[in-house]
Every structure is written in C-alpha cells, then in structure tokens.
A = this chain, B = another copy of it.
Amino acid sequence: MTKALNSDVESALHVIGGRPISRLFLVACGGSLSIMHAGKYFIDRQSRNLSCDVYNADEFVCRDPKRLDQNALVILCSQTGTTSETVRAARHAREKGAMTVAMTLDPESPLAAGAECVVRYRASYTTGIPIDAADSNYAILSMLLAGILRMTDGVDLIPPLLRNLECLQPAIDQAQEVFAPRFEAFAPRFKERSAIYTLASGPAYAAAYSYSSCVLMEMQWYDSQAIHANEFFHGPFEIVDEDACFIVLIGADETRRLAERARDFLLRFGSPENVLVLDAEELGLSGLNDAFKGYFAPLVFFDTLWRFAYRLAALRHHPMLEGRRYMKKISGY
C-alpha cells in the first residue's frame, strides 16, 4: 500500500503554489537543523531553479540575507515550536515578505502561530510512543521538498517517494537487528573514552551532525564533532592514533566513496576495534529507488544509533535525557 501525501503538506503546497518561489531557506537549531542538511542535498541534486541555503535560526536573523524577499520560501522546524530563535526567524522572514512554513509537533505553538503554513509531524523522542518513520520530521520534509520541486522544476518525485516511504520503517527495524551485536561489542570500548567523532559525507552528514551535537555531546558529555569525510583529510585526521574512537557513516548516495576513503584510512592507521562503521549497504534499502536511497539512509543511521547511545548511557551510568544539566533546567542565559 502506498502512503498518502501528508494532508498538512498538501495544504502548504497549495498555498505555496500561488507564489513565484526561486529561493529556499531551511532554518532551525540543533537537531531540527540537522535534517535541513539532507534537505539541501536533495534540492541540490534535483533542482535547477531553486537556490537553497541552510542556516541556524539566529544566524539567519542577524545575517539577514539580501535574497530573503517575496520570492523566498522559508521552511522552519522546531519540535515543541517554542525554540525562541526559530520563532524569531519566522517573524523576520515574514517581515521581509517571504513565505513561511513551520514544521512542528504542536500546531498551537508560537512557531505555528507565527508562520503562514503549519506542517505537523510526529516524534517518538518526546512522547516515548513509537512512530512510523514516514511521519517523522525528516520524512515530512522530503514530502514538502518533493512537492516544491514539482512546482519549480516540473519534476514529480512524489509517487516514488510515497512508495519508498513504505519501506522506511521496516528498514529501520531491520537495521536495529543488524547492528545490535556490533553496538554490544563497541559500547564497552567507547564507554571510558573522552572523545568520539562521527564521520560522514553528503546527506549522511545530517545524521553525523545530530548524533555528535545532540546525543554524544548533549546527552553523554563526550567531546565530539561531526567531521565531513573529506575535510577529515585536511586537518582532523592528524589526531588519529590507535586509541581514537570514530563512528563512520557510509551512505548510499553519490558521495559514498568519500566516507569509504575515511573508513579505509581509519582501519589502516587507527584500531579497527575503535572504528564503528555503519554502511548503508547493510541496511534493508533495496526496495528504495536511487533518488531516495541516499536521502533516507541517514534517517535509518540516526534512528539506529540511538540504541548505541542508550547502551553507552547504561554502561556509563549517565542517563540520556535526565542527564542534561543546562537544557530545560536553567534559564537566563
């Protein structure tokens, strides 16, 4: 059975359809920003008529790009819809005459109230209730972007996208099985280390960014960094020794060979037991077509890697969400 186009996405596309859009801005903070990197990859690959920029929300407001005008569409995302920088960014975009779409869990939130269109998605992260990944912010963004692409470039990828979204949750469930023994083996080795880096290229950089910033640093207090798999060779690789811990995400997209090269270097100059490799070829993505295989691999990686983080948390006796000391705990900074 093919998924239906999300009804909020459909409504938003109807409103956007009335506007001459040639500039796309993807704006958010932290984990919500990370998915935008994959969105830009998709637009870069598919669109000739749409420029696409990704900005942290506060950077976006202060930088105030000159191209932000009535020909611009700004897609913003915040789980709770209360992230103050993102709420401000929506207001700023509207003042400049741009069209705004808010992605959020809460249609009553300040972000939703501040944007012209609201697109709801679901998350298990905050509720604890399992969702179908096709309803996640990552998947919903793909629907929005495919719809916009149809308008701006006359390329209709919505039918294959909807078929592909059917395969997504099964691929995630399968990945959990495939990687569980590997996580079990690596967690005791990574547990006492101070630093863990995540390497990726192309859309998989989205998963690396989110995992390093919002999981390893935020929830487990590791020194961490998402390093682009080729930039790795232009500085960061000098830190590699047999104790250095790396997670390498090898995507199913056009940049795959960049991450393969980083993996090969690490297996040669680091220690194989400290290099946790997740390869999209191990995922159950064979049902997906080429336009989306690369796009969805990062979502599978990211969902899977939560399990690894919980495993580390258990071994380190450092709880995940409850272990934070500043976020949502203190104010006035």
Segment 189-233 of A: residues with Cβ below 8 Å from B: 194-195, 201-202, 213-214, 217-219, 221-225, 228, 230-231, 233
Contact at A56–B231, with CB atoms within 8 Å?
A: yes
Contact at A194–B213, with CB atoms within 8 Å?
A: no
Contact at A239–B265, with CB atoms within 8 Å?
A: no
Residues on the B chain within 8 Å of A65, using CB = 44-45
Does A324 sit at the interface, judged by CB under 8 A? Answer: yes
Docked CA distance A44–B239 (Å): 34
Segment 28-67 of A: residues with Cβ below 8 Å from B: 29-31, 33, 41, 44-48, 51, 53, 56-59, 62-67
Docked CA distance A264–B53 (Å): 29
Segment 123-168 of A: residues with Cβ below 8 Å from B: none
Residues on the B chain within 8 Å of A237, using CB = 326-327
Docked CA distance A148–B26 (Å): 26
With known contacts A44-B67, A202-B63, A29–B234 Cβ distance under 8 A: yes
Docked CA distance A186–B65 (Å): 37
Contact at B29–A333, with CB atoms within 8 Å?
A: no
A147: shortest Cβ distance to chain B, in Å?
Answer: 17
With known contacts A194-B195, A194-B223, A238-B325, A29–B230 Cβ distance under 8 A: yes
Copies in the complex: 2
A165: shortest Cβ distance to chain B, in Å?
Answer: 23
Docked CA distance A156–B224 (Å): 43
A contact residues vs B (CB 8 Å cutoff): 23, 29-31, 33, 41, 44-48, 51, 53, 56-59, 62-67, 69, 85, 194-195, 201-202, 213-214, 217-219, 221-225, 228, 230-231, 233-240, 254-258, 261, 264-265, 268-269, 324-327, 333
Q: Can you list 23 contacts pairing A with B, beta carbon distance less than 8 Å?
A: A29-B231, A29-B233, A30-B235, A44-B66, A44-B67, A45-B63, A45-B65, A47-B66, A58-B201, A58-B255, A62-B202, A62-B257, A62-B258, A194-B195, A214-B235, A217-B236, A221-B238, A222-B239, A233-B333, A238-B324, A238-B326, A261-B333, A269-B333
